Each structure stands twice: as C-alpha cells, then as structure tokens.
Chains A and B, each alone.
Chain A
Amino acid sequence: KQEVTQIPAALSVPEGENLVLNCSFTDSAIYNLQWFRQDPGKGLTSLLLIQSSQREQTSGRLNASLDKSSGRSTLYIAASQPGDSATYLCAVRRGSNYKLTFGKGTLLTVNP
C-alpha cells in the first residue's frame, strides 16, 4: 500500500527566504508526482507535475525534484512571499490506476 509522508507538517519563515518542502513515498513504482497548494477553505491548485522519467520541473519561483529510486520529492520555493502562505500537498499516481495518494501536507506561513 502506497503511503505518502510530508515533512515538516508546518513551517514558518520570514519573507525572502528560500525554502524546501519534502515529500516521501513508500512504493517507487509511480507514474508521476504532483504538487498542489491549498488555501484555507479552498480547493487544490495544481503547481507542478513530474513524470516518473523526469528529475525535475520548474515553474517561476518553484522547482520540484523527483528521486524515484529513493522515494523522495522536494519542492523548492525561491524568494518566498507572504502570498505563498498555504498548505502544500504532494500526491503520487501509481501505475495505470487513476488514483492519487496524497500526503497530509505542509502548512507554510511566510511572515512579512
């Protein structure tokens, strides 16, 4: 059974700091890994999707990496801003199953 863990559960940083969020998964036989952000009381916004054959994906100040063999992914946020404050979730898709298995998320607070 696939399990996804996100560490830390919460993170508070000052504005302008670079930061890394971690995601680990137990079964390396994944199709892809997706990072989302969730604002309080809202749905999920897709940030990046990394295919199993890729090592990283970049979008603006966000960079996500994937090490499938070790079961790890990181989301790097450069020059953090208060607007980045949200819960960040990672999810993995295994094989041909449509199911995404989610971690419980990291609550990020960027202080001005």
Chain B
Amino acid sequence: SQTIHQWPATLVQPVGSPLSLECTVEGTSNPNLYWYRQAAGRGLQLLFYSVGIGQISSEVPQNLSASRPQDRQFILSSKKLLLSDSGFYLCAWSTTAGWNQPQHFGDGTRLSIL
C-alpha cells in the first residue's frame, strides 16, 4: 500500500532563517505531488504541484519554492522566512491514472515563525 511521510512534524524558526520541509511517498511510481498550506481561519491553499522530476508549477507567488529531486521526493524551501509563512504545511500525492483520482495527504508540518 502507498504511504506518505512528512517531516518534521513541528518546527519553530526565527524570521529570516531558511526552511526545508521534506515529503516522500512510498508504494507508487511517478505520482503527482502537491504542497498545501493551511493558515488559521483560512482554507487549504495549493502552493505547488509537480507531475514529474524537476517539473514544478507554482500556484501562488510567495516567499517559498519547491523542488522534486527524485520521483517520490518533494521539498518545500525558503531562503528567508517571514512571519506570514507560519501555518500548517501539508504534502499530498495522487496517481496519474486518469483525472478522477483522489489526493492523499500526509500528517503535515506545523511551522511557527518567531
């Protein structure tokens, strides 16, 4: 069966520090991968998605970037964190077998910026 792992589970970082969140998927090949952010009082917002190695699409201009160095690895990064980057970051995956495939989510990373 397929599993998705995110780490760390929680992170406290000072303003201006760099960020690297990692997500890996097991049990499937060539998945679509997604990064979402869930901010307090707001719905989930898609940040990036990837349909293959090195292929990244950005949905919202921001202080963050994403990379996919391997088929089942998706990384969310920032060079300098802002207070507004605080939130709950979720990674998700779906198969590429047709359009009507559900997205499956990891357990998330709670990011607090001080």
Among A63-71, A73-81, A98-106, the stretch that binds chain B is: A98-106
Contact of A4 with B by CB under 8 A: yes
Partner of A32, one of B32, B100, B106: B100
Q: In whole angstroms, what is the CA distance A44 to B46 when docked?
A: 14
Q: Interface majority SS on B: helix, strand, loop or mixed?
A: strand
Residue picked from B41, B44, B99, B105, most chain A C-beta under 10 Å? B44
Q: A4-B43, A104-B43 are in contact. Are A43 and B103 (CB under 8 A)?
A: no
Size class of B's contact patch? 20 to 34
Q: Is the CB of A49 within 8 A of B102?
A: yes
With both chains docked as a complex, state the minimum distance between the C-beta of B93 and any C-beta of chain A, in angstroms: 11
Q: A31-B99, A49-B100, A100-B46 are in contact. Are A41 and B90 (CB under 8 A)?
A: no
With both chains docked as a complex, state the minimum distance between the C-beta of B110 and any C-beta of chain A, in angstroms: 7
**Closest B residue, CB atoms, query A6:** B43
Interface size on A, residues (CB 8 A): 25
**Closest A residue, CB atoms, query B106:** A43
Q: Chain A residues with Cβ under 8 A from B100's Cβ?
A: 31-32, 49, 51
Q: In whole angstroms, what is the CA distance A31 to B6 when docked?
A: 28
**Closest A residue, CB atoms, query B110:** A41
Q: Which B residues form the contact surface with A (CB < 8 A)? A: 6, 32, 34, 41-46, 49, 51, 57, 59, 90, 92, 94, 99-100, 102-108, 110
